[in-house]
Structure 1
Amino acid sequence: MSAIGHSRVTPLIPGSPRRWLPLLVLLLAVPLLMPIATDTVVAEDTEPPEWGNATRSDDTTIEVTLYDDESIATNTIQADDFTLTAGRVENVSVTSINAAKGNKSGARVSLALESKVDKNNVSVSLRNTANITDTAGNELPDEAVTATGMDAVVPKYRDFNVTRVNSSTAEITVETHERLDQLRVSIGGASLDTLNISAFTERTGNSAVYTREYTFPEEGEYSLLLMSVTDRHGNNNSFSRQQTFLYDGTGPNVTVTGPRNATVGEPVAFSAAETTDGQGVESIQWQVGDDTILSGENITVAFASPGSHEVAVTATDPFGNTETVTRVVSVTGNGTVGNVTVQQPNATVASVSVNGTGQSQVIQPQVGALTSGPNGTLERLTASFPSNESATLTIRSRQPPPSFATATGHTGISRFALDNGAVPTADVLVRFTVNRDTLAAVDAEPGAVTLFRNSNGWTPLPTEVADRTESHIVYRATSPSLSTFVVGVERVTAADADSETATTNETATSEAAANGISTSESETTETSTPEPETQTETAGEPDIVVTNATAAPSTLSPGDRTVITVDLENRGTASGDHNVIVALNTSILTTRTVTVPAGETRTTEFARSVPENRTGELTVDGQRVGNVTGDSGGLPIPALPSIGVPNPLSLWPDGIVGTVLGGLLGVAVGLYGVLKALAIYLGY
């Protein structure tokens, strides 16, 4: 019996056509999907990448942009691909940029340099071995782009020198490794000045040399400090290079010893050994007459003829300053014209025989004074007698007449009575001494002494202090002719009297006129060794040191303000100037010139703010007074070029290539899903 109304179900047999149906669908889908991917490629990329520009990012980084219609193959960019006209590329970092130039994409390449460069314009180009391409394989052409403003190297010090031209002028030289736009030299001393580049002459070669001549306005010691320099691109550097210059325009102080009278053929000695100069005596030269030149401190000469002969000595110091003194020597010969004979029967009387020459003749014995009294001594006389006329003089030391005080109002302390007969005389110079005890007895100062001449009454004569000894005061006075002379003293208080000072240049005028020589000659030749109390001004040198320097506060951060106190002591024997230098590391923050008298101490203060972004040791003349640190308590680390780890997604290419790869990846994922489902369905 068969069942009616039920259809027969046939089971699926493995290997039947239904099993391969999904595989057939997959095989049909692949050809259909291929046009989808291939349709996205519009055309083949044959255009090479192109250069953009180069710009300065910082002192050691140059940014270079590259462009392409599609995209740059950033993995082909290496540090060794680039060459620079100055410096070397240490490493690179690359960043992709979109729509950087119109519709073009590209890359920004950061070239990190090994160090700062000393050129303002740096050109970037490709090495011969470089191979930078776009994603289609087109190579970047060999061209060049230039970054400006790259010079970040400060001028380097080569030399700072001050060379003497003459006693008051020096040549100042500054040398650096490159040309400068500005320099500053500070001058301190007897006067202050600041020099800039405007007056310097530039000479370039392997280095840049700047020179100028500078004339110092007044005598003294100067300190020249090279403060700072700036190159043509604005990089500046500070220095603390110092030189000194001494402006000495004063000649030596010439002292001559030797006779004023000589005999024909007699050897006589002259010496300038006591000549002095603050910087030393370089040379001494003598001229005797018109044609005899001798050198050395001491000379010996013999005059061949009678008459007046000049002996001139010139001393030169190390700076070329000279001073000349001339001595006139009266030479006589064998009792003829010009002969002066002095006989002294006792200390109070002298008899003199003179053969006149018409010129000044000195009346003085070979040893000692002419005449001496209880309160005064006549040392010598100088006078002119008529030529070829003989004269006989009698000189006596006596007590002054009582009428002298009444007639003059002065106390007479000594009288020199002269009898020269009827022989006329002129240009008389009287040199005499007075005991200090005598002046003290009448309560008088040295300046109260006056020599009076008896000529129809007592006439005061110009009288000056010529020299001083421990027991005597030496005077000189001028008179129109020989006569009887009295030494008078006016009673004055110490406050009104002349102080006992060294003889001035003007004191030599009268005696010089009588001897026919210049004032400067007389000043030297008539002066003996001064007494100790007149030598109050002695040559010395300053010795200034910084004894203490502090900063409050001493621990600072950049931008903080501090007060620096500096104590200076002069341990020398003369006043001087010291240039105090406050510096941060090797950079000068400020300077100040402080004058310190001998044996004294001076204090000066500086109120300064530490520059921003600067750390290190704060010093005064090289002595540390504080520290400047950053917020972390240490020195800041200079910023390095940013070299980050790239985001993996950022490596996915942009543009049409990225679109194609994205489409293919999507197809592959879809196929993987179909195959996986089919495998599950079939039981794999």
Structure 2
Amino acid sequence: MSATGHARETPPSAGRRRWWLPVLAVFLLLPLLIAVASGTAAAEDTESPEWGNATRGNATTIEVSLYDDGGSLDTGTIQATDFELTAGRVENVSVASINASGANRTGVRVSLLLDKKLDTDNVTVSLRDTGSITDEAGNELPRESVTVTGMDSVVPKYQSFEVSRINSSTARISVGIHEPIQQLRVSVGGPSIDTLNLSGFTERTGNTVTYTRTYTFPEEGKYSLLLMSVTDENGNGNSFSRQQTFLYDDSAPNVTITGPENTTVGKSVTFSAAETTDDQGVDSVRWQVGSDTILTGKNITVAFASPGSHEVTVTAADSLGNTATVTRIVSVMGNGTSGNVTVRQLNATTANVSLNGTGQTQRIQPPQGALVTGQNGTLERLAVSFPRNESATLTIRSRRPGPAFAAATGHTGVSQFDVDHGSVRAEDATFTFTVDRDALAAVGAEPDAVTLYRNSDGWTPLTTDIAGRSESHIIYRADAPGLSTFVVGIEQTAATDMDAEAATTDSEPSPSEPATTEIRTAESGQPDIVVTNATAAPSTLSPGDRTVITVELENRGTASGDHNVIVALNTSILTTRTVTVPAGEARTTEFARSVPENRTGELTVDGQRVGNVTGDSGGLPIPALPSIGVPNPLSLWPDGIVGTVLGGLLGVAVGLYSVLKALAIYLGY
């Protein structure tokens, strides 16, 4: 015992202190042995990971399963940039472990988070060329692919809904959608109701998928057409409620004509159609006085130059082209003054005229038909001035020209008109005559090769103009200083198609003497106007830039019509213009337009792309510079299995050294 009365501790002997040190060393080296064993097992894993299946998670998520035998996938190697899709873009990924059937088999579910909803039903997922996914043994996922179905979640987008008239009761209905559809519903309401579906429409693909059909309304009245809904081929539906109207009006105007039924030569009289009515309104009023005078307007004032029965015809049309015509017979009596003109036709080639001069131009024409008629040409009428209060008697004959005319002028004579007016002075004569087209074709001449010649101390050509045309003949007008013998001469030219000249517009009659004007019937048929070319200069623009768009249109139909040219940026209309194109003709129109600020996309004309608006500054691209960094000191450390084993051994050695040093300190070493 010690001096204090306590028992004295005896230090353990050396043999007793050291017997458990080997046990402690084995215990501390056990994790190292396990790590070496597991590293050896990992080193034996040579199987590559496998693709599983791909399924739809939601509208913006694709779930892809990946599996590995004999080890685990290295989830740190799974990045969004590893995956490539046939539609859409992977914005982010998330990885979760899944239970895989079979021993020693592990798996993960990779959720591919997309940047937006897809407009495609089937999407194929694969690795990018630069992508790499490995397991912990370094085996790479093969470059294969999997396909997911049911990803289309974008509803059909509205592009256009138009109802255009074909005739009074029939319309062309057109629906434009951004993608093909499998269901369509158009509601028709009005005097009768109907519902239209896709079965009656024809599909035409392009920048916009267009569905068209013709529809005939069963009874007159105003109709409302409503584009209700569409469904695409993958079952995505959308409702629009876009409305158009159509008026079925087959009723012609109720024409009322007012004015005298009797008048005298030279007296101004007024005729009116102001009381004409139509339930849709009167759009136009057209008058024909006699055989050749055409006037427009609700009211007209005319004076008849010769006695006899004259027809006054009025035709009224509504806005839909329905017309009605009324004719009034007006009896014109001589006024017993110096203005009287009397025409007596002995036969087709001879006419006698008696008149009292007025000092002004007087018109010589029978109540009906032409003045005199020849084999190839006809003198329709004659206007001439005789001295005031002097009586004149004229004899007008049509003959066949003799060979002397051709020898003197080098022209072929078609018709000869002899005008014998006695000794009374005649001035300022105007001849209106016709030449048969067959006569022109017989000598291979164009219509403008015709000239009227006057025989006055030799043959003198007169200024001759085309005044009108018909299918069978050409109408001419020529002025002469007096009366004598006249011959219609034709200069022979190369044969051409005479019918091509029929398209020229008739000349307008002068105020003093109405010209013979061809009365054309109302147009029949349908317009068919197409945009044949559209360009933009410049075609590559930035927001705010200005461009000039040129549009060429052609009417391939049989009637004149209007076409609404639409200039759009993506689906937004920038401007429109209505262009009228006659049947068989072409027209060109131009738009000068600035692109709105902060807007990009395709610039189109009627859906046809003519340019692009981009946000680029237009400068040359600057290549990205490589990043410059300080080398990692551990970058030389070996990776893979060797690196793992060496790293484990180093960690265990450091840990064992620390424990042994602490124990030695505790034991007093």
TM range (shorter): 0.3 to 0.5
Return the TM-score normalized by structure 1: 0.45
